[in-house]
Amino acid sequence: MGITKTTGFSAETIEIAEILKALGHPARLGIVKLLMASSSCICGDILAVLPLAQSTVSKHLSELKKVGIIKGAITGNNICYCLDKTTIQKIQTFINMADLSCKTDSSCC
């Protein structure tokens, strides 16, 4: 893959693109769905739900954390993960900007 050209795009657009790119994997969406269903989650709980090796789950958690979708805190010998509400709000705001009125208009493509 080549380098993505970002010149000329706003910082906000680039940030949303990185977040959406991180969400573009089924395992990461599975992790996010699991965290959406609870206020926090220990990594072991994630391993019990996903059909992936521990190292694979760790890599996906790292990618989600890198773009700010999740955050983690050390609790004893475990890292407890939860969604970062600020980033989730950015995603919701971006999606809510879409004009979906065309969906109900039969003259639209």
Q: What CATH number is associated with residue 78?
A: 1.10.10.10
In a domain, 29, yes or no: yes
Per-position DSSP letters for the chain, written without gaps between them? --PPP-TTS-HHHHHHHHHHHHT-SHHHHHHHHHHHTSS-EEHHHHHHHSSS-HHHHHHHHHHHHHTTSEEEEEETTEEEEEE-HHHHHHHHHHHHTS-GGGGG-TT--
* CA separation for the pair 102, 109 (Å, rounded): 8
Determine the structural domain holding residue 32 and report its residue range: 11-88
Is 105's pLDDT higher than 60?
Answer: no
Q: How many domains in the chain? A: 1
In a domain, 5, yes or no: no
* CA separation for the pair 7, 63 (Å, rounded): 23
In a domain, 15, yes or no: yes
In a domain, 97, yes or no: no
Per-residue pLDDT band for 73 (boundaries 50, 70, 90) equals confident
- 25-67 pLDDT, tens digit each: 999 999 999 999 986 677 778 888 889 999 999 999 999 999 9
In a domain, 27, yes or no: yes
In a domain, 73, yes or no: yes
Q: Count of CB atoms within 10 A of residue 51's CB? A: 8
